[in-house]
Amino acid sequence: MTEEKDEVRVALFSRIDYCGDGYRRHLVEKGFSITEAEQPHFSVIVGGLVHNAGLKERIDEEILKEKRKPKDKRMSREEVTNNILNAVAKGLSEQIPTIKEPRTGKKVRLYVMTSPAYDGKHGAEIAERLTALRPDIRHWAKASEHFPLKPPPHAKFKEIACLVPTKQAFRSKYDSTAPDRMIEDYLNIANKQYAPVVIAGCYNVSFYKPAGGESPLHVIALPGLSRIEENRASENQIGVTVLRLTQEGNLFVKSHNLNDLVVRERESINISPKYKKLERKVRE
């Protein structure tokens, strides 16, 4: 970050869901490419680095394979888990793009937050291993993190807060209910200095509520950056978000919708003509 700023720009991502069926490398690459064009000063993955259920399934499958081996050639459960966590961290280090400053080529810092509810018990450990492989990445371990803006573009914008859920939300008629509740819990914490901008990750729903309306703060919920598997309600969104906080004290929230990249997946799949008509239909 430079010493003087007319404004601060922040790129925000959530629910990459690596290891899950909804993970799409091309989505991640497109999302990072879009935000790089906005020239952010730093970026944050607000939960959903890995997919808890998908990771667990992968570990269980490898443990089952080991049980089929002779006893003297088996790895322990701990060894299997350790190997997979290393492999996942390595895969992420290779597949998460770097964002660079256009003038200097310097890598822009990427902060990673993990959610116990969505990343699972191994999420934080994977994030730590990822930071060892990528010096431009930092792991912020709390479920609610305050990111300082240094120097702040305006006196009222000294920091932003990013939140991730610690437990799965109950199903609700509206997808916006869960992030609203998480933000309400944040606001109800006693003796807490609130950030003027509060960002909720992991729920795959995109909205912005400016300060002065329903909330005394600017409230933002983030879309996901993976194919949504568990819920296909119309409110759900796939995309990325960029914040601009200006020296005049204004906040601009820009959401890039990437739903079409998933909707059109089948159109981009090339099926070899060697397959018969029925086989082609199955693959489609």
For the segment 119-141, what is each residue's pLDDT rounded down to a tens digit?
999 999 999 999 999 999 999 98
For the segment 205-264, what is each residue's pLDDT rounded down to a tens digit?
999 999 886 677 899 999 999 998 765 554 568 999 999 999 999 999 999 999 988 877
Distance of CA 196 to the CA centre of its chain: 21
Which token pair is 88? 């996942």
How far is 250 from 245, CA to CA, in rounded Å? Answer: 6
On average, the pLDDT of the chain sits at 87
User: pLDDT tier at 6 (50, 70, 90 boundaries)?
Assistant: confident
Res 283 pLDDT > 80 = no
User: Residue 4: what pLDDT?
Assistant: 44
For the segment 147-205, what is each residue's pLDDT rounded down to a tens digit?
999 888 999 999 999 999 998 776 666 777 888 889 888 888 756 678 999 999 999 99
Ranking 49-58, 93-102, 210-219, 242-251 by mean pLDDT, the lowest is 210-219
Handedness of CA 53, 59, 62, 66 (dihedral sign): negative
How far is 241 from 206, CA to CA, in rounded Å? Answer: 9
* Residue-by-residue DSSP string for 79-147: HHHHHHHHHHHHHHHHHSPP-B-TTT-PBPEEEEE--TTTT-TTHHHHHHHHHHH-TTEEE--SSEEEE
pTM value?
A: 0.88
